[in-house]
Chain A
């Protein structure tokens, strides 16, 4: 135990430096790819998927090599992953709002949908119309 502890600080001092120019070239090439994809005559869904994938690839490159996350203790990587997880969760929390809005667009709205589901009249006076 104490032996392992004695080793880790000296390993931290041994500084590993990635090839920054290579990362720079990767990022530039990925940016050019993004521009090609954005203007390519491909289906919208494929384009969005590719662009999001490319953007995340670039973001991970920056975090891993420029922000040295790859060479840090794993605890720091976990700390950095927390907002990513929370934002993913937050995005999913918006799904009810989005799905009902899209529903309301295709049908006649929330009240009609609920009436249909419940099988009875639930609509009160319209608050948007002056009595």
Chain B
């Protein structure tokens, strides 16, 4: 009897501890899911950039990008995206403190940054297609250019939609400090889009 009484609590203790210590809590699941998605997405971008590199190195007479593409306007686009990453982390740090007004302001600025980026990219594409007469079929240079920047642009567009939905929910007061995880996960996506642009800017425009 006494033996059973001493053994029993120990066993209960062992089984009770296990689920609590699981690294996959509902809070971290969203974050882990986003990271896994970003890893898969990174492979797609990585494969596209590697293919671009292979086509470029394998070609004898690849044009110098700066003779065709506008570097100054793209540098501005890069700077806008970096700024929008900063406003995103500011929005996250505001919602952690439940500072609703600051959260909405910085999230709106992030969305605006994304829209500004897309606007400048649309301007660049219009110039290249309408004025320079380039298309995805013209050459390997223009083909890889439109593919890489277009795929990234789709990501920025997706991010603008994603963050706009978050902003609308924030406006409706549905995002509180408890739900900061939603903002953090959206932020991960947005910073990833920024990170990929940093690499594309270097590999496609500068080199």
Contacts of B32 in A (CB 8 A): 76, 79
The answer to whether A38 and B71 touch across the interface, beta carbons within 8 angstroms, is: yes
Q: Does B58 contact A (CB under 8 A)?
A: yes
Contacts of B207 in A (CB 8 A): 38, 47-48, 51-52
Among B23, B39, B202, the residue within 8 A (CB) of A54 is B202
A-side binding surface: helix, strand, loop or mixed? helix
Q: A31-B78, A38-B206, A83-B42 are in contact. Are A63 and B93 (CB under 8 A)?
A: no
| Count of A-B contacts judged by CB separation below 8 Å | 114
Q: Does A111 contact B (CB under 8 A)?
A: no
B191 to chain A, nearest CB (A): 4
Q: Does A11 contact B (CB under 8 A)?
A: no
B-side binding surface: helix, strand, loop or mixed? helix
Contacts of B57 in A (CB 8 A): 98, 102
Q: Give complex CA distance A48, B42 in Å.
A: 22
The answer to whether A55 and B43 touch across the interface, beta carbons within 8 angstroms, is: no
> Count the B residues whose beta carbon is within 8 Å of the partner chain — how many?
50
The answer to whether A67 and B202 touch across the interface, beta carbons within 8 angstroms, is: no
Interface string of B104-148 (1 = CB under 8 A from A): 000000000000000000000000000000000000000000000
**Size bin of chain A's contact surface:** 35 or more
The answer to whether A83 and B43 touch across the interface, beta carbons within 8 angstroms, is: yes
Q: Does A114 contact B (CB under 8 A)?
A: no
Q: Give complex CA distance A47, B65 in Å.
A: 14
Contacts of B199 in A (CB 8 A): 55, 59
The answer to whether A24 and B82 touch across the interface, beta carbons within 8 angstroms, is: yes
Contacts of B195 in A (CB 8 A): 59, 62-63, 67
Q: Give complex CA distance A15, B43 in Å.
A: 31
Q: Give complex CA distance A28, B184 in Å.
A: 23
Q: In the complex, which residues 32-79 of chain A have their Cβ closer than 8 Å to any Cβ of chain B?
A: 34-35, 37-38, 47-48, 51-52, 54-55, 58-59, 62-63, 66-68, 73, 75-76, 79
The answer to whether B50 and A24 touch across the interface, beta carbons within 8 angstroms, is: no
Q: Does B46 contact A (CB under 8 A)?
A: yes
A–B complex contacts, Cβ < 8 Å, 15 sampled = A20-B89, A20-B93, A24-B83, A54-B202, A55-B201, A66-B85, A66-B88, A66-B187, A67-B195, A68-B184, A76-B31, A82-B39, A83-B43, A102-B57, A102-B58
